[in-house]
Amino acid sequence: MNEMKLSFLSRLENEAFARTSVVAFLMPLNLTQEALMEVKTMLAEAVVNAMIHGYENTIGTINVSVAYDDTCIYMKIEDQGCGIEDIEQAMKPLYTSKEHLERSGMGMTIMQAFSDEFQVLSKPQGGTCVKITKLIRHEPAKQ
C-alpha cells in the first residue's frame, strides 16, 4: 500500500493545493478521466465542507490522507472544527446549514454517489472525519 498525508490551514485557496497534490499522488494508477474527476470532486467537497462548516469563520487545520492498494483508493479528510450535530440530517440531499452562503446542500450526496464506501464520523465540538473508499478503474490499455 502506498500512502500520503497532507496537513494545511483551512483557507479556501488551499483546496486547489489539496486536490492537485492528491491527483499527482494517484498518477501512477492510470485512472480513467471519469474516476479521476470523481476523486477530485469528492476531495474538494470534503475539504470545502471542513472549511465552511467545520471551522466556520475561523482558521484550523485540515488533515488529508490518501492511500491505495491494488484495488482501492482510500481517502480520509479530518478537521477539529465544530462537528456535525445530526449526521443523518446533514446527509440528506439539499440540506445546508449555510443557506445565506448559497450552498446547494449536495456535498454529502455527491461524495456518497461517487464513492464505493462512504462514512462520516463526527461529534459536536469534536471535529469531523470523512472516510471514502473508491474502487480503482484503470484507463484501458491502448492498442
* Active site (catalytic) residues: 45, 49, 103
DSSP secondary structure string for all residues of 102-113: T--S-HHHHHHH
Q: Distance between CA atoms of 51 and 29, rounded to whole angstroms?
A: 29
Which residue, 142, 132, 9, 137, is CA-closest to 66? 132
The closest of 45, 2, 7 to 24, measured between CA atoms, is 2
The position carrying cell 486547489 is: 16
DSSP strand pairing (2-9 vs 72-79) = unpaired
Q: What is the DSSP letter of 6?
A: E
User: How many CB atoms lie under 10 A from the CB of residue 10?
Assistant: 21
